Amino acid sequence: MVSLGPGDPSLVTLKALDTLKAVDAICIPTKSGDRSFTKSLSYRIVEELASRYSLKARRVPIYAPMNYREEDWREQAKEIADCLDRYGETAFVTLGDAAIYSSVYYLLDIFERDYPELYEKCEVIAGVTSFSQASAKVKKPLCLGESALSIEPLPLRETQRSRVYMRPWVGMPTESIPESGELYRFENLDGEREKILLGRGDEIDSYMTLFIDFCRKREE
Ligand SMILES: C[S@@+](CC[C@H](N)C(=O)[O-])C[C@H]1O[C@@H](n2cnc3c(N)ncnc32)[C@H](O)[C@@H]1O
C-alpha cells in the first residue's frame, strides 16, 4: 500500500519509489468505468516516475467508483489479490498519505477478513499529505507553539475523531492523556530504540514520543 503524495512526483518518498521499482505490478485506482487512466492523477505520478526511474512493473487499472459500497471494495480487493497471484509482488497506490481518508484501509479491512495471509504480508508506506503540501506552498504552519490541528470531513458533522498527542516533556506523567478509542504510544520511530505500545505506558522518557488515540469505528 504505497502513498504517492499529493501530486508532485518529487514528493514521493524514497521508500515508495524503491517499492515501485521492486514490484512486478502496480495497481492504480481509476474512476473511469472503461478502466482508462485519462483522469487519474495517481497514474500521471506513476508514469512520471516510470520515465524518470525506468520502472518495469506492469500497470494494472483497478476500477474504484466514487460510491462507497462494500461490494465495490470487495471487488477491488479481489482484483488486487488476483494481481498478486498472476504477476507476483504488487503495489496498490494511493494519493497523499494512506492514513488520511484513503481507500487503503477499506481494502485492508477486507484483506484482514477474507485474505488473512495476504493481510499479514501487507505493508503500508506513508506519504506526504495534501495539507502538508498546501501549508508548504503558502509558508504557513499547520500548528505551532500552543496551537493544535484539526482535520474535518466535509460536509461538517459530528463525527468520531482520532487524536494525535505530541511534543511531551521528559518526565511528564501520562495519566492525563485521554483515551476514547484505541490509544497507542510511539517512541523513537524508525530508530534503534523504536517502541510501539498499546496504551499510555509510564511517564515520558524520550521527547521523541507521540500518542495516537485512533477512533474505533469508521462510519462509512
Ligand atoms: C480521499 S481524500 C485523500 C487525502 C489524501 N490521502 C491526503 O493524504 O491528502 C481526497 C481529498 O484530499 C484533498 N486533496 C488531495 N490531494 C489534493 C491536491 N493535490 N490538492 C488539493 N486537495 C487535495 C482534497 O480535499 C480531496 O477531496
Question: If DSSP codes are grouped into helix, strand and coil, which group holds residue 60?
Answer: strand
Which stretches of 4-80 are assigned E, i.e. beta strand? 25-30, 58-63
Rounded (to 5) percent helix, strand, coil in the chain: 30, 20, 50
For residue 41, is it left (φ>0), alpha (ψ between -120 and 50) or beta?
A: alpha
Atom of ligand 1 nearest to the CA of 127: 8
Cβ of 6 closer than 6 Å to ligand 1, yes or no, is yes
CA 54 / ligand 1 centre spacing (Å): 27
Given a contact cutoff of 8 angstroms between Cβ atoms, the answer to whether 202 and 169 are in contact is no
Q: Which residue of 11, 13, 95 sits with most ligand 1 atoms within 8 Å of its CB, as the best mutation to test the pocket?
A: 95
Cβ of 96 closer than 6 Å to ligand 1, yes or no, is yes
Cα–Cα–Cα angle for 3, 132, 169, rounded to 5 degrees: 105
pLDDT tens, 54-79? 999 999 999 988 777 889 999 999 99
CA 96 / ligand 1 centre spacing (Å): 7
pLDDT at 70: 87
Look at residue 52 and tell me whether its pLDDT is greater than 90.
Answer: yes
Given a contact cutoff of 8 angstroms between Cβ atoms, the answer to whether 13 and 46 are in contact is no
If one counts every other C-beta atom within 10 angstroms of the C-beta of residue 112, the result is 13
Cβ of 37 closer than 6 Å to ligand 1, yes or no, is no
Phi, psi of 93 (to 5 degrees): -105, 150
Superfamily of 2-130 according to CATH: Tetrapyrrole methylase, N-terminal domain (3.40.1010.10)
Question: Which grid cell is 29?
Answer: 485506482
Question: Which grid cell is 19?
Answer: 517499492
Cβ of 105 closer than 6 Å to ligand 1, yes or no, is no
Cβ of 129 closer than 6 Å to ligand 1, yes or no, is yes
pLDDT tens, 162-174? 999 999 999 999 9
Question: Which grid cell is 7?
Answer: 501530486
Using a pLDDT cut of 90, give the percent of the chain over it. 89
Beta carbons within 8 Å of 147's beta carbon, 6+ residues apart: none
Q: What is the mean pLDDT of residues 86-104?
A: 97
pLDDT at 218: 57
Q: Where are the chain's structural domains?
A: 2-130, 161-220
pLDDT tens, 122-157? 999 999 999 999 999 999 999 999 999 999 999 999
pTM (2 d.p.): 0.94
Average model confidence (pLDDT) for the chain? 95
Which stretches of 36-117 are assigned E, i.e. beta strand? 58-63, 90-94
Look at residue 220 and tell me whether its pLDDT is greater than 70.
Answer: no
Given a contact cutoff of 8 angstroms between Cβ atoms, the answer to whether 37 and 28 are in contact is yes
